[in-house]
Amino acid sequence: MERTNARYKTSLKVYFPSPADVEVFVTEKGINSFYESVENRKECCYIRKVKPLNRALNGAKVWITGLRAEQSENRKRMPMIEWDETKQLYKFNPLINWSNEEMIAYLRDHNVPYNPLHDKGFISIGCAPCTRAIEQGEDARAGRWWWEMSKKECGLHSGNKINNLK
């Protein structure tokens, strides 16, 4: 599915999860199984996020991300440019050393549109059932999968793979 972003005059191609994958997953495990275990949650993320991203990146030479080091422990170790062996492309993280304050200043100075939930304490935003606002002093990723004590990654950037799915 393609549509044109009027502000940036860029054509966007949108990728959805495979309906067949979602049907099997929900039939076998239930509609909210991601709350029941980290394994189920990672399987849901793999079907709904990782697989569509892999399709989008298929044949690409470079993957440009919005990752920032201060978002999580895992991201602190990420370089600005790296070779992704699994996807066979370069991963470019131009914002990796930006602080939250620098990012906000850039948005303000350049009038960049952003998700209004950010102004309501949703510092890191994912799917609706898995995202909440954070409290003062909480980690930036604390609102993602808040019921878990895991590393708070969906697998897009940590290489999670569910072995029983193609």
Q: Using CB under 6 A, list all residues that contact ligand SF4.
A: 34, 41, 44-45, 48-49, 126-127, 129-130, 154
Beta carbon nearer to ligand SF4, 126 or 142: 126
Beta carbon nearer to ligand SF4, 67 or 154: 154
- Residue 135's alpha-carbon distances to 78, 105, 111, 124, in angstroms, are 26, 22, 27, 12
For residue 139, the minimal CB distance to ligand SF4 (Å) is: 17
Among 44, 45, 130, 154, which one carries the catalytic annotation? Answer: 154
For residue 45, the minimal CB distance to ligand SF4 (Å) is: 4
* Residue at token pair 């994912």: 126
Beta carbon nearer to ligand SF4, 98 or 134: 134
Q: Which amino acid is at 67?
A: L
Q: Is there a catalytic annotation at residue 130?
A: no
Alpha-carbon distance of 41 to 154, in angstroms, equals 8
Residue 144 neighbours by CB distance under 10 Å? 24
Q: Which of 79, 45, 27 is nearest to 159 (CA)?
A: 45
For residue 71, the minimal CB distance to ligand SF4 (Å) is: 15
Q: Which residues are catalytic?
A: 154
